[in-house]
Homo-oligomer: A and B are copies of this chain.
């Protein structure tokens, strides 16, 4: 495994992408050059200050490539992300990454990405890469309402893939949960990232239909690199395992799912 890189990165651009949602491009060629879709970075402001985010916050790499910036899809949630959303071009953040396990995508079958909310982030990166390799990607993307939807033009611009959008109230795209977009009979491999209830539903469906599924989980983190044991999820065998190093992407069969 490669050691993570610590890098003070400049905000090259931060732009509003939807309600309380921002697209952030950070100048970090070293991390961008190494990151794989599904990996994440810890984003902090350094030890000089103690206001939230005092601890760095984990974010999926939303786009990256050699010599490129690291793109993040940032949604305001609590005090830490609210402050990060107030960053301006030219500000600097302290990055640690790339961290964790990436999605593994085999070349012989197309993938279906199931994104809930900012769970979209890793799939932007993944879709862009797959498209560059000329492969098919089906991207299902769900939000609660239209004002939360990351612009589908921007998604196409960034990835070359047109998302299939679901909103709970039907205010954009199809009405309903993103789950409705899954065609269990004909899907090859599923990848999912989003809120835990969504992951649970997808996992149930995958198990039921015997479909391979990789999920990216979210747990509170301390260090991001495996030392603090803060970020555990329950493994299929009932152990607490670290989502920062053994995840955040897991084969759904490695984890225990409530029944």
Q: Which of A48, A51, A52, A79 has the most CB of B within 10 A?
A: A51
A2 at the interface (CB under 8 A from B): no
Tell me the minimal C-beta distance from A50 to chain B in angstroms. 5
Whole-angstrom CA separation of A154 from B52 in the bound complex: 38
Interface residues on A, range: under 10
A49 at the interface (CB under 8 A from B): yes
One complex includes copies of this chain to the number of 2
Q: Is the interface of A mostly helix, strand, loop or mixed?
A: loop
User: Within A63-100, which residues are at the interface with B (CB < 8 Å)?
Assistant: 79, 83
A187 → chain B closest CB, angstroms: 45
Query: Chain B nearest CB: distance from A143 CB in Å?
Result: 27
Q: Which residues of B contact A48 (CB under 8 A)?
A: 79
Give A53 to B49 CA distance when docked, in angstroms.
10
Q: Which of A117-174 contact B (CB under 8 A)?
A: none
Contact with B along A169-191 (1 / 0, CB 8 A): 00000000000000000000000
Chain B: CB-nearest residue to A49:
B51
Closest to A45 in B: B51
User: Which of chain B's residues have a CB closer than 8 A to the CB of A51?
Assistant: 49-51
Q: Closest approach, in angstroms, between the C-beta of A150 and any C-beta of chain B? A: 27
CA distance A49 to B49 in the complex (A): 10
Sample of 5 more A-B contacts, CB < 8 Å, known A48-B79, A50-B50, A51-B51 = A49-B51, A49-B52, A49-B83, A50-B51, A50-B52
Give A residues with C-beta under 8 Å from B: 48-52, 79, 83
Could you jot down 8 A-B contacts, CB within 8 Å? A48-B79, A49-B51, A49-B52, A49-B83, A50-B50, A50-B51, A50-B52, A51-B51
Nearest 3 pairs of A and B residues by beta carbon? A51-B51, A49-B51, A50-B51
